[in-house]
Structure 1
Amino acid sequence: MSDFIRDFFINYSDLYSVILMSMFVSLTSTFIASLAGLALGIPTALNEFKCKKAILRIANTLMSLPPVLMGLIVYMLLSRRGPLGSLSLLFTPTAMIIAQTLLVLPIIFSLTVSTISKAGREVEKTCISLGAGKFDTFLTIMKECRIQLLSIITSGFGRAVSEVGAVMMVGGNIKGFTRVMTTYIALETGKGNFNEAIFIGIVLLGISFMVNSILFKFREGE
């Protein structure tokens, strides 16, 4: 088995760039979406304001938005005739990061609001009774709910790393530049090269397993 894997990577050395690009795009988009989702989600969960229900409805709707539709929206924004066409971002890793970030953000935001609405209010009351400021309260809530929030971020990463339609539309699946694991699987399956597609699928499954194993270790530590 080890000889097969070694020979496979020697014969298909281009897979290194595919795996690295997939991890770079997915981790970057998840990081950006997590920062924005947590920063917006925690205050939204702890405060009541006029448009809160409407915002939550929109976020919940965007959670189930078809990826190809998001890809179309980003494509139109970044195309030459689009408002951001002058930036020449279409068919680049940056365009893929933008698309994935917009797909992951509603997930992290909505799940954060749901989680903090239940678990964060008691922490907030305790912090207020002890005279803590808003920023200290924010940090304390994140600390106390870190396992739940980590699970949310993991869910966002799972959505990002498994994405096909949007990244193919805005990235173009260009060999050595914007090709990622999911688009590689789709391409090789269409060509009938099932061995290559299955191998990358196993790598993708292994990455998901490692991420969930890390999360499980954190839970055990609690």
Structure 2
Amino acid sequence: MDLFFEGFQKAVEMIVQGDKEILHITLTTLRVCFTAIIISTCIGLPLGVFLGLTHFPGRRIILVLVNIGMGLPPVVAGLYITMLLWRSGPLGQFSFLYTVEAIIAAQVLVSLPIVIGLTSAAFQQIDPKMLLQIKAMGATKLQMVILLLKELKLAILAAVMAGFGRVLAEVGAAMMVGGNIKGETRILTTAMVMEVSKGNFEIAIALSFILMALAFLITFILTSLQQRSA
């Protein structure tokens, strides 16, 4: 218990003193997570709407694959990205391995299925009578989608929050593709793992408090937006 309070005290000290390394790690974490979830939302939202509203051969198989992807272990995602970016891999010529961009790619891979899956599930639950009513009013397909997006904004924000939570807590893939390089690819989760391996439990606990504070703050803001629009 003493270690817990010491870690909390250490976290407060690092924040108050403006520790440059901690600041850089925190900013890198936020940069990576926000970039990944924005990309996942921009890609996943339209795909989720499409899968939720349309019916075509092979749709069920795609939905099964999306649901499988929602439970994809991060280390598997990291392995696939590493294989793509390795020197002998298809994208090895771009030298993206052990960069922030590689971490973003891995986090998109683990968060994208969540955004697609939860969005498509929300749209599949729409009452068919509502769709018929909207069509009867003469709305175009685009207008219908916009109306449904407004109707399901709570579920969509929930999908975004779930995806963001996944990338914020991710460590396995980030460690594999980013390398946890000081001053470049080190983020809060990988820094915690490193400190634990070195036996610096006080610093690891301090980092955990900073991570939890970020998670609480961002979730609070997103939830406030969600409930305000209810």
Q: TM-score, normalised by structure 2?
A: 0.90
Unaligned 5+ segments in structure 1 are: none
Counterparts in 2 of 1:154-173, with a 5 A limit?
Answer: 154-173=161-180
Aligned counterpart, 1:8: 14
Match of 2:99 in 1: 92
**Counterpart-to-counterpart distance in 2, 1:120 and 1:109:** 20
Q: Report the aligned-residue RMSD.
A: 2.0
Q: Does the 8 A contact of 1:46 with 1:121 survive in 2?
A: no
| 1:75 equivalent in alignment to 2:78 | no
Distance 1:72 1:26, change over 3 A: same
Deviations 1:151-204 (A, max 9, x none): 110000000010000011000100010000000110111111122111111111
Q: How much does 1:13 deviate?
A: 2.3
Give the residue type in structure 1 aligned to 2:167.
Answer: A
Do 1:46 and 1:120's aligned partners in 2 also have CA atoms closer than 8 Å?
Answer: no
When residues 185 and 104 of structure 1 are mapped into structure 2, their CA distance, relative to the original with a 3 A threshold, is same
Q: Which amino acid aligns with 1:50?
A: P
CA distance in 2, matches of 1:82, 1:52: 31
CA contact (8 A) 1:100 1:166 kept: yes
> 2:129 & 2:187 partners in 1: Cα distance?
43
**Is the alpha carbon distance of 1:43 and 1:174 closer, same or farther for their aligned partners in structure 2, counting shifts above 3 Å?**
same
Q: Taking structure 1 as the reference length, what is the TM-score of the superposition?
A: 0.93
- Separation of aligned partners in 1, 2:10 and 2:71: 40
CA distance in 2, matches of 1:66, 1:75: 14
Quickly say closer, same or farther: Cα 1:111–1:121, change in 2 above 3 A: farther
Question: 2:213 — aligned with what?
Answer: 206
Cα distance between partner residues in 1 of 2:78 and 2:165: 18
Change (3 A) 1:8 1:212: closer
- SS of the residue corresponding to residue 14 of structure 1 reads helix
Identity of aligned residues (%): 36
Shift of 1:4: 6.2
More displaced stretch, 208-217 vs 54-63: 208-217
**Aligned equivalents of 1:183, 1:131: Cα separation in 2:** 53
Structure 1 residue corresponding to 2:44, chosen from 11, 22, 37: 37
Q: Which SS does the other structure have where 1:119 is aligned? A: coil
Aligned residues: 222
Letter in 2 for 1:32: I
More deviation in 199-208 or 95-104?
199-208
Secondary structure in 2 aligned to 1:61?
helix
Residue 39 to residue 219, structure 1, CA distance change in 2 (3 Å): closer
Q: CA deviation at 1:219?
A: 4.3
Deviation by residue 1:54-75 (Cα, 9 ceiling, x = unmatched): 0011111111111111101000
Q: Which residue of 1 aligns with 2:132?
A: 125
